[in-house]
Chains A and B, each alone.
Chain A
Amino acid sequence: MLLLNAVDTLALARRLRTHALRMTHRANASHIGSCLSMADILAVLYGAVLRVNPSRPDWAARDRLVVSKGHAAAILYAALAETGFLPIDELDTYSTNGSRLAGHVTRTVPGVELSTGSLGHGLPVAAGMALEALRANAPWRAFCILSDGELDEGSNWEAIQMAQHFRLSNLVAIVDYNKIQSFGSVAEVSNLDPLAEKFRAFNWGVHELDGHDHAALKVALIGPPTLAGRPTAVIAHTIKGKGVSFMEGQLAWHYKAADAAQLDAALAELEAGS
């Protein structure tokens, strides 16, 4: 098992952002903005929360993380590589011919629990995992990272309803609420507010926090459910493109990759911020 406390999650988050920028640049791939918004969430999860074992990816008692926003594959693979599930050098093969690192999260990669990419699939599966842990009286928890736009998918709300009825207190849904979806701002496309109240009305416990605040993330993700016997939603307010000034809050970085000059500028910013 990982020595969780030894990990500097801020430094890990910077490395994840660096990897994701390089990977999407090299592959000329989309979704860097979606990767950067969840860098801190992943760093805290892999650095301080998840009980996983990279030498035994199928360890039965591991915590499960389902990344339902499968388009943010690059930074998940980076997190898995930094955790020891695959060689860091392999990140160079992201989205290339014959690689096992597909452009959307795919279970060909050790440590990936579920292939995703079509939105609205992850939370029901995580709920199934949590149900199994409850039925088997197993200690592990099931985490699911969702995008905000993804919450437009009805299948999520089916799972949200079911999970509270089955009292899946070992289920944690983390919403990477970066406020931008495919065609524009969430507020313009299909406004989610009041999101916390929606979860509360469904009998979920809710943490609403700054998704770039590692201390707050740790408290929310490590601590017990805020509503006893019920699942927990962590509504993480984030900034799309977080960490690179010219990408922050910009819809365009849902689609385009940094060119060479932009990559240099982005990496310099990350370096300066370290």
Chain B
Amino acid sequence: MRTETIDALLAYARVNPDVMLLTADLGYSVLERFAEALPQQYANVGVCEQAMVGIAAGLALSGRRVVVYSIANFSSLRCLEQLRNDVCYHDLPVTVIAVGGGLAYGAQGYTHHGVEDFGILSMLPNMAVACPADPYEAVALLPQLLERRRPSYLRLGRAGEPVLHQTAVDILLGRAYWTQRGSDIALLATGPILGRAMQAAASLTRRGISSSLASFHTISPLDEASVRDAGANHRAILTVEEHTVVGGFGTRVAESLLMAGMAPRFGKFGVTEALRGRIGSQSWLLDTLGTIEDHAKALL
């Protein structure tokens, strides 16, 4: 989905010359087309995520909209204070495109796992956090984030994620998209793991369990109306994320439910201590967490 997203960025930047793309020397085979097409709107600043975000802030303070590109944890945690102070507190139009979110770089080891990023970034002021499930959502959300002209974080997977939406649908920033409606349990998923949630929903249906499924492609601002909808119309809710379950999407949903006075049976599927130190493919690592279907059934 990173290639589709950068292609969409290129198309946007062609007609919006104030948009500039910075990379900290990552994006081989992904960014070249942008760099060749719009060299005046592109800079590889070298391997320096802290300086890159500061440079982005300086450009933004001078009238640019800036996109910075790197692997998820490098573009979030390595430069967290620059994002907080220079970008978010100054409310600047800087969009982070983070690739390899979650366990996409699974076998590369935990230095490359981006599983604490969006929980932390959701705490920053003025920051919109989006975690699209597929290239379709990513391409739909990118211009909405850029048009917002404020800090944002677009958390992508890596490459080859399948398109999950089989028909043209409206993907609106800040509004969850229900892919199916049922009555027993609501599965609320964020990111490409939506694909696994879809398979779990189908499996539950075969076992006579009626489920709803929503793609929460936007984590901040959280679609609280859809969370309340889920709480009001289902016996149970299971959140699904490729992120630590401590302080992540599920935590935000649980808080939102409590604040609304709702207390359905509730569970969180996501990265836990079970994965600590484990090396393996994204798929294998997710398998070690058990199945979404089993987590759902345990709530009913």
Contact = CB atoms under 8 A, between A and B. Distances in A.
B81 interface: yes
A128 B85 CA distance: 15
B179 to A, nearest CB: 41
**Residue from A115, A116, A128, A129 whose CB has the most chain B CB atoms within 10 Å:** A128
A113 B57 CA distance: 11
A165 B48 CA distance: 13
Interface in B116-135: none
A194 B51 CA distance: 23
A167 to B, nearest CB: 12
Taking residues whose C-beta sits less than 8 angstroms from the other chain, chain A's interface range is 20 to 34
A64 B63 CA distance: 13
**Residue from A115, A124, A142 whose CB has the most chain B CB atoms within 10 Å:** A124
B54 A132 contact: no
A127 B61 CA distance: 12
Contacts, number: 96
Nearest to B81: A118
Interface in A106-123: 107, 113-118, 120-121, 123
B40 A162 contact: no
Interface in B26-66: 40, 43, 45-46, 48, 50-64
A133 B55 CA distance: 12
Interface string A118-158: 10110111111111110110000010000000000011001
A125 B40 contact: no
Contact of B54 (A117, A121, A161): A121
Contacts of A64: 61-62
Contacts of A201: none
A128 B90 contact: no
Contact of A128 (B40, B46, B56, B81): B56
B85 A155 contact: no
Given A115-B89, A115-B90, A161-B46, A124 B59 contact: no
A124 B52 CA distance: 7
A261 interface: no
Given A118-B85, A155-B51, A162 B45 contact: yes
A128 B65 CA distance: 12
A272 interface: no
Given A114-B86, A115-B85, A131 B50 contact: no
10 contacts: A64-B61, A118-B81, A127-B51, A129-B59, A133-B62, A136-B62, A142-B58, A154-B50, A159-B51, A166-B45
Interface of A: 60, 64, 107, 113-118, 120-121, 123-133, 135-136, 142, 154-155, 158-159, 161-162, 165-166
Closest 7 CB pairs of A and B: A128-B58, A124-B54, A158-B51, A158-B48, A128-B55, A132-B62, A125-B58
